[in-house]
Structure 1
Amino acid sequence: MSKSKEPEIKNRVLPHSAFSSVFSNKGFTLIELLIAVAIMSIVMLALYGTFFSILNSQSRIEKELEWVRELRRFLDVFSSEIQSSFYKDGNHRTIFIGEKKDSHGRPVSSIDFTAFTYTAVIDGRPVSDIMAVEYSVEENPEGMLTLYKKVWNPYVGDKKDGFKVEILGDIEGFEISYLNGKDWAKAWDSSLEKKLPDAVKAVVAIKDRGEVREFSTIARTRIR
């Protein structure tokens, strides 16, 4: 009786590639992780840069818009004051004087005039409803121009007693012209002309992103 042969078992050596595929955990290597972190950092920095750039641009635009709104409010107030300006020949308390000036080639006109406004009350009694107004430009040591307004009551004081306030800062120029019939003049003195100008034009120049922009208004005098 013959004995059955047992199957012969031989040791087999798996190739390296097969071994790797069986035992690999399919994760990232350290180098891959470092590269991923570096790429993520670059992306995040770019996103942060874009985000803050947008915020800065929005903030700058909002400031510029607010500045322009203030400028337009000034022009509206100036027009209203010119329309209510008053001068009477022989009454030294009423004035209308405009001077042409410049600062390093930039116009810096000044104007003094009287106008009807609210009634001033002294010791409980109404004194006058005429106020004197001055607009003038001053230059600081850095060369920046600032427009100021001074107000006083010509019946109870003079210019040196007036209340002075800053109107517009960092402007590039302030120029006023006066209409006399068909011609525009850069200066006016009602004590010589014996009357008010027919109209007044004010131009404010500002620098916007390296370019000079001008805003203007024309107001006609109504009181003769």
Structure 2
Amino acid sequence: MLSKKGFTFIELVLVMVILGVVGLAVYGTFANGLNIWKRITQQSQPEDINVFFEKITFDLRNSFKLAGIRFRGDKSRVTFPTRTKFINDEQVKESIGQVTYAFNGRTKTIDQNAASYSDVFYKRAGQKRILAEDIHSLRFEYYIFDPNRKKYEWAQSWQDEDQPFGVEAEENLPLIVKVELAVEDDGREIKYVRTVPIPSACCWPMETEVD
């Protein structure tokens, strides 16, 4: 009897069909998993944005003039003194410190860094957190009084020069901070805007309305 060697054409076709079916099944499972992950991510992003706005609003409203920590800001970053919470020895403690909110253009994230007063004094790194991901842009503006022009206006920065640890509190704070955040959804840009008054900046004489 002659022994069969190798595969016949029909056997090769059957193997190819089986491999194709298995491949489609694996691809379908992977695609479904990817779609589920995308939906979960898209659903959590609005929640992350809301958390960010609540945090920065709370911190800005609790900011104040403090010797040693200055209020500094530019169009993509703001740093100021406030009452904030820290995790120390697995315990949450509230203390006076410095908080920074910044947009990382490389990772497309909004980062928060909270440092205690002693951390700032000894130039130690604070506690860093990522508050939101897949952010297209983050922009800050500051409603201030320009003494040279003698008028109130929106500015892209507030005393953003780097100064050493001071011994006196600064005289003024911005009256209002505008926070503008943008994300992309199916090629469309969606913007979120919030204006936050600074109570401790009172009482600059308000002579004009905020535009």
TM-score by length of 2: 0.62
Alignment-mate amino acid for residue 117 of structure 1: T
Identity %: 20
Task: Return the offset for 1:204.
Answer: 1.1
TM-score by length of 1: 0.58
Contact 2:179 2:194 in 1 (8 A): yes
| Equivalent residues in 2 for 1:25-174, closer than 5 Å | 60-88=38-66, 91=67, 93-100=68-75, 109-118=76-85, 129-140=95-106, 144-158=107-121, 160-174=124-138
Flag structure 1 segments of 5+ consecutive residues without an equivalent: 1-48, 101-108
Distance 1:167 1:186 in 2: 23
Distance 1:209 1:68, change over 3 A: same
Aligned-CA RMSD value:
3.4
Distance 1:185 1:86 in 2: 20
Alignment-mate amino acid for residue 175 of structure 1: R
Residue in 1 that maps onto 2:143? 179
Given the alignment of the two structures, is residue 188 of structure 1 paired with residue 151 of structure 2, yes or no? no
Distance 1:213 1:63, change over 3 A: same
SS of the equivalent of 2:134 reads strand
Distance 1:134 1:56 in 2: 34
Task: Return the offset for 1:139.
Answer: 3.4
Flag structure 2 segments of 5+ consecutive residues without an equivalent: 1-27, 146-151, 164-169, 202-211
Q: Between Structure 1 and Structure 2, whose CA radius of gyration is higher? A: 1
